[in-house]
Amino acid sequence: MFFSYTISVVLLSLAIYGLCQVLRDLWQFLTAPEWEKSPCMSLLIIVRNMEYRIEGLVRYLLQEAADNPAWCDIVIVDYGSDDLTAAILDRLALSDPILKVIHLASASRPTGEGLAFCQGEIVQILDFVNRLRVEDAGSAIRLVLRRE
C-alpha cells in the first residue's frame, strides 16, 4: 500500500509530536516524582511556666524549621503560665512568621484549641504540661525530626 506524499508528511509529523509528548511527560515524571514530596507538618507544643527553658527550645525549633522546608508552622500554646513564659513567647513570635503563640487560661483545653491553628497535614503534639518532662524535650524533638 502506497501513501501519498501529504499523508506521509502528516503521519511523520504526528509521530514526532507524539514522541515529543512522551519525552516531556517522562522528563516531568523523573524530575518531580510525587512520592518524594513530603507533606506539610505542624508542631503543636503545649507549655506552662517554662521561662528558663522556653527560649532555647523555641530557638532550636526555629533553626530546625529553617533547615526543613516540610514544616508549615510551629504553634505554641501557653497554658496558663504565671511567670514570664508568655512574654518570652510573644517576643519570639515577632521575629519569625512560622511561629504562632496562643495564650489560654488553665481551665481550657489546650490540645483541641491549639489544633485549630495548625495548618499542616500532619500535626505532632508535644505536651510539656501533662505528658512530657522538660528534660525529655531534646529526645522528643529528635524523634520528631527522625534523628538519633
What's 90's domain CATH number? 3.90.550.10
Instruction: Give the C-alpha separation, 95 to 79, whole Å.
Output: 21
With beta carbons less than 8 A apart as the criterion, state whether 145 and 74 touch: no
Structural domain for 100, as ranges:
38-145
11 and 59 assigned to the same domain: no
Judge if 29 and 51 occupy the same domain. no
Q: Edge-to-edge strands of the sheet including 71-79?
A: 99-104, 71-79, 41-47, 122-127
Q: Does 19 share its domain with 62? A: no
Mean pLDDT, residues 54-61? 86
Do 107 and 129 have their domain in common?
Answer: yes
What's this model's pTM, rounded to 2 decimal places?
Answer: 0.67
Residue 147 has pLDDT above 50, yes or no: no
pLDDT 10s digits, 72-111:
889 999 988 889 999 999 999 998 888 999 998 877 888 8
More confident position, 16 or 34: 16
Please state the domain count of the chain: 2
| In contact, 140 and 146? CB cutoff 8 Å | no
Mean pLDDT computed over 27-31: 81
For residues 70 and 98, membership in a common domain is answered with yes
Task: Indicate if 27 and 62 belong to the same structural domain.
Answer: no
